A and B are shown apart, each in its own frame.
Chain A
Amino acid sequence: MSDLHLFSVVSTIVAALAIALGVFYPARAMGRAVAAALEAPARQPEAEKPISRTLFIGLAMIESLAIYCLVIALIILFRNPLLEYFLK
């Protein structure tokens, strides 16, 4: 197995792992956030609007973490800067 083979296999595995872990934890966090936000208006129905606004903002923040992982995985797969060393 040449270096290039090893490189492509490892980078594929790492990209898949990165996106798997990077989606798993934000998904758990989003689940907890939504669950907590659903519980709150049951106790205080008048506070629904600020809660839903804060929930949306918080979900966007958490989601952006998953998006960072996606961007990194795409960089590893399509625009890997280390690939130049092999192709030189």
Chain B
Amino acid sequence: MNNVIIWHFHRLVFTEPLLLSLGVSACLVALALVLRQRIALASGGPPVIVEAAYQLMHDAVAEVVGATHVERVLPFVGTLWLFILLANLLGLVPGLVSPTRDLSITSALAITVFAAVHVFGVRACGWKAYLRHYLAPNPILLPFHLISEITRTIALAIRLFGNMMSLEMAAMLVLLVAGLLVPVPLLLLHVVEALIQAYIFGMLALIYIGSALEAGQQAQPPPTPSVPEERS
């Protein structure tokens, strides 16, 4: 909660989480450029670990979204996964904090997801079909649809922020109470939690997008049971 202000530039204020998240983005872009060059040189294709990671993400997306939409949705969800994973793990570096423990950054990510859901939905089935799914079973349910849109976005932001902040705060409290090296098991938990939270955030974004993509086609047949309810 104590954001160290690092840099004033006219009236812009740069806090530590903001600079760190910009750094994470820069790292990812640099990595992508290097990999693209390696692939373009055709020197044996990408490294195995990169290919495995891509395959993992591709399979996870393909399980939720129809085959025609995978190529469109994968870049967005994959970026979310990689960015949040790196940002979460950054908290383990001594002297740095996770950018995702700042509510502003998680809110920005959640708003991106909120916008992306509608963009993908409209692109997949057109304005009319997409907007009609808000009236789908009965027009009386319209306010509930709208409330669910807003609350799930807020929940997305608060979940990531609360998890990362509470873990770091717990580690700090144990350090204050018990002393050096005692919070190490908690930090191991931090690694697991960083992975799970990144997975959950991307997966929820994927499911929201998937339900928006199916909204147009779902008007007539009953909804597929594989998609869980998106309320929380």
- Which residue numbers of A lie inside 8 Å of B, CB to CB? 49-50, 53-54, 56-58, 60-61, 63-64, 67-68, 70-71, 78-79
Q: What's the dominant secondary structure at chain B's contact region?
A: helix
Closest partner residue, chain A, to B156 (CB atom) = A64
Q: A27 CB to closest chain B CB, in angstroms?
A: 15
Residues of B within 8 A of A70 (CB): 162, 166
- Which residue numbers of B lie inside 8 Å of A, CB to CB? 1, 63, 155, 158-159, 162-163, 166, 196, 199-200, 203-204, 207, 226, 228, 232
A67 touches B232 (CB 8 A): no
Residues of B within 8 A of A54 (CB): 228
Residues of B within 8 A of A50 (CB): 63, 226
Q: What's the dominant secondary structure at chain A's contact region?
A: helix
Closest partner residue, chain B, to A64 (CB atom) = B159
Q: What are 14 A-to-B residue pairs whose CB atoms are below 8 Å?
A: A53-B203, A56-B199, A56-B200, A57-B207, A58-B228, A60-B200, A60-B204, A63-B163, A64-B155, A64-B158, A64-B232, A67-B162, A68-B162, A70-B166
Residues of A within 8 A of B228 (CB): 54, 57-58
B158 touches A53 (CB 8 A): no
Residues of A within 8 A of B1 (CB): 78-79
Residues of B within 8 A of A78 (CB): 1
A3 to B159, CA, bound (A): 35
Closest partner residue, chain B, to A50 (CB atom) = B226
A56 to B1, CA, bound (A): 28
A63 to B155, CA, bound (A): 11
A70 to B162, CA, bound (A): 8
